[in-house]
Structure 1
Amino acid sequence: MSTRESRVDPRRKASGPVTVVGAGPAGLACAVALARAGLPVIVREWHRDVGTRFHGDFQGLENWSDEQDVLDELMAAGIRASFEHHPVSRGIVFDSRGGRYPVQSRQPLFYLVRRGSDEGSLDRALLRQAVAAGAEVRFEDRVGASRGPSVLAIGPRSADAIAVGYLFETDGPDGAWLILDHRLAPLGYAYLLIQGGRGTVATCLFGDFRRQADYLARTVAAFRDRADLEMRDPRPFGGFVNFRLPRSAVQGGSPVVGEQAGFQDALAGFGMRYALRSGLLAARSILEGTDYTILWRSELLPLLQAGTVNRFVFNLTGERGWRAAARRLGQGDAREALGRFYRPSVASRLLFPVARLRYRAPLHDPSCDHIDCHCVWCECRAEIDRTAIA
């Protein structure tokens, strides 16, 4: 399902500038591809800079949902890995009973990247590539209406999961650790990532948002016990993700990409690869005159459906199933094992209609009623309302 480099017939290009609304990974990837093909591109971003939702925290650019390495996929589309990226091929998974499962793979499971506005971050590197390709990027430019060809990439509109944690300095060794325990992360997971003396520790919650502080405290204590976590200068951060299975991912005739379209893995929330791919597909639809809905349904829908089924099974089986999955990952090549979870199968096709029917219910958090609530989602809602396109 890898994105191939387009061979563009200039007669089929859109006329006039293309407006990309939003300067996240999806929007900037789209801008890079369009500008490199010779189209005038204007990127309009409401914030003062790229990456303002993030704080320099480590995130994983996953590498298991496609046989092709994600960096090779990006390079084939004209996007260079000029951002800091550290391949992660091994880690440790803990279950709720303290069981320890080392996992490893021959190729990287994911690439550790930093998000935010700092030099070396994914966001800053994509901005530089877009400008170098010829795109015009306008900051503090709120879009009320857009005329002409447009691509919408303004990010998530609601929260189905939140992450809260700390960024910190440390003398600890590089590594990646994961805990599957509902006492730390209801229907989610807690993680610790350390690279070059910098670290990110967080809990990813799929429910009970109001108690985020309690879950984070338990997460830190658990990693201190199991991974000898030591933090210097801890700085709190938070974020949220939205999962959705759109019908067309088109709004007012414009392609909708990235998290605005709901392109996220419903199991684990890994969405950067989906965002980048969707931005490139939107560019391809404009350059080739191809139906964007046909493109994303071919390249992304099977992955979104697999994630929906995986989330359904994860919620259904509970901690016993999670332990079984951790053991399975530790018994062979973890990348190959994870890849099988995202490939179409008879079982996934049979389960998908049921999983989709229950898709919203397991992700809705009744504790977050937006009344006197200070969870990450409620704190971000005011800004979401301000950035919404009129």
Structure 2
Amino acid sequence: MTVIGAGPAGLVCAIALARAGRRVLVREWHRNVGMRFHGDFQGLENWSGEQDVMDDLCAAGIEPTFDYHGVTRGTVYDSRGGHYQVQSAQPLFYLVRRGSDEGCLDHALLGQAIAAGVNVRFEDRASDVEGDAVLAIGPRRADIIAVGYVFATDMADGSWLVLDERLAPRGYAYLLIHDGRGTVASCLLKGFKQQAAYLTRTVAFFRDRLGLAMNAAKPFGGFGNFRIPSSAVQGGHPVIGEQAGSQDALAGFGMRYALRSGLLAARSILEGRSYASLWHHELRPLLRAGMVNRLIFDLIGERGLPAVEKRLSHGDARHALRRIYRPSIVSRLLFPIAKLRSLGASRDPSCDHIDCDCVWCQHQAEHNPPIADLNRTDGR
């Protein structure tokens, strides 16, 4: 069995298969895991499932050998200067670091894969696919980009989110600090070409409000793709991770979906079940609900957001988010509208690839994506 791509989805799939006695080869075209990341904090969300995400991973045999920290409270700012405290009894999300360094999620999963007997081959560009394979090459276009800094700091731990078009058009800005490490970023769904200006405003906002102090700051950037394919199988091969649209269209919290898709693919192989059917019933409804949430978020606009933030600040925010993300009749009815709107607004017109140094254009210039045709599972 071959897994193409050594992201979280590909690695957890390989781990599950290898521990069940299958011989697994992982082919990765970068020289190491986590090369898209720089040790920045990301959130492993804990609201889209009934169980705690860490319990889900442990039940699937994925050991938490990476650094993680449960976040139960945070502050949300709106464009009018208001701010709201949100909290929950259980973690809203877990802070994890992404990258190839020790303690990062990617590094830990690689170690578990190798310990399980997986053969991981780096700098191996797959030009075609033969035999039994799982496809996990990641996103091949950007609907959202994140630009920011990782840094050292003596500030107290905390999590802060800002919903303000002046800092992050159609997106959000955030500051995450834990144990002397920090990540500050602006996540944009448009205005890619002006990413530097939005990041400057984001840093200024947190300096003004919280006294942000950054030491040894290093820039980073990332990107994500919002898409829901008509099928998660291509050429008879399961497609997992962001290549199969495992991303939250509202806020970009896609790691949990990606990990789940990798485990679903392994389960389909080991049990002789249809991966397409498993994905259709267990993942696609969540992805559709996320796209509907994005539609509602855009329609509400900045004027309506304070009411939503206020609602989240009363009671348990995890329970409220769970209700928002739960697939429902409403999400099924609104999905066709949400998808049409997404198709029309997914490409940022400012990112014209002419004298543009946004995160996405830099990535395109530095890398020639392998087997690009394998990223198309729905004609898009």
| TM-score interval for Structure 1 and Structure 2 normalised by the shorter chain | over 0.9
Equivalent residue of 1:144, what SS?
coil
Partner residue in 2 for 1:4: none
Distance 1:279 1:383 in 2: 27
Aligned residues: 373
1:320 aligns with 2:307: no
How far 1:67 sits from its partner (Å)? 1.3
Q: 1:84-139: per-residue Cα shift (whole Å, max 9, x none)? A: 00000000000011101001000000000000000010001101111111111111
How far 1:343 sits from its partner (Å)? 0.9
Partner residue in 1 for 2:377: none
Equivalent residue of 1:111, what SS?
strand
Partner residue in 2 for 1:19: 2
Decide which of 258, 266, 273 is 2:241's aligned counterpart: 258
Partner residue in 2 for 1:166: 149
Decide which of 254, 258, 273 is 1:290's aligned counterpart: 273
Distance 1:344 1:152 in 2: 26
How far 1:354 sits from its partner (Å)? 1.3
Distance 2:274 2:98 in 1: 31
Distance 2:147 2:247 in 1: 18
Decide which of 37, 45, 53 is 2:36's aligned counterpart: 53
Give the unaligned 5+ runs of structure 1.
Answer: 1-17
Partner residue in 2 for 1:335: 318
The one-letter code matched in structure 2 to 1:269 is G
Decide which of 86, 98, 115 is 2:69's aligned counterpart: 86
Distance 2:215 2:346 in 1: 34
* Structure 1 contact 315–362 (Cα < 8 Å) conserved: no
Equivalent residue of 1:370, what SS?
coil
Distance 1:385 1:151 in 2: 21
Decide which of 285, 293, 303 is 1:302's aligned counterpart: 285
Distance 1:374 1:186 in 2: 18
TM-score for both structures, normalised by structure 1? 0.94
Distance 1:225 1:389 in 2: 44
The one-letter code matched in structure 2 to 1:287 is L
Equivalent residue of 2:56, what SS?
helix
Distance 1:164 1:132 in 2: 34
How far 1:361 sits from its partner (Å)? 1.9
Distance 2:276 2:367 in 1: 26
Give the unaligned 5+ runs of structure 2.
Answer: 374-380
1:34-183 residue pairs with structure 2 within 5 A? 34-183=17-166
1:203 aligns with 2:177: no
How far 1:273 sits from its partner (Å)? 0.4
Q: What do you get for the CA RMSD once the two structures are aligned?
A: 1.1
1:381 aligns with 2:364: yes
Distance 2:221 2:203 in 1: 15
* Structure 2 contact 92–318 (Cα < 8 Å) conserved: yes
Partner residue in 1 for 2:213: 230
Runs of 4+ in 1 over 6 A off after TM superposition: none
Distance 2:366 2:254 in 1: 21
* Structure 1 contact 166–200 (Cα < 8 Å) conserved: yes
Distance 2:57 2:138 in 1: 20
Relative to structure 1, the CA distance from residue 370 to residue 389 in structure 2 (aligned partners, 3 Å threshold; closer, same or farther) is closer
Q: 1:39-82: per-residue Cα shift (whole Å, max 9, x none)? A: 00001111111111100000000000011000111111111111
Distance 2:230 2:171 in 1: 26
* Structure 2 contact 140–372 (Cα < 8 Å) conserved: no
* Structure 1 contact 180–188 (Cα < 8 Å) conserved: yes
TM-score for both structures, normalised by structure 2? 0.96
* Structure 2 contact 127–370 (Cα < 8 Å) conserved: no
* Structure 2 contact 247–257 (Cα < 8 Å) conserved: yes
* Structure 1 contact 93–180 (Cα < 8 Å) conserved: yes
Distance 1:383 1:286 in 2: 35
Equivalent residue of 2:57, what SS?
helix
Distance 1:301 1:251 in 2: 16
How far 1:208 sits from its partner (Å)? 0.9
* Structure 2 contact 128–371 (Cα < 8 Å) conserved: no
How far 1:383 sits from its partner (Å)? 4.3
How far 1:384 sits from its partner (Å)? 4.8
Partner residue in 2 for 1:270: 253
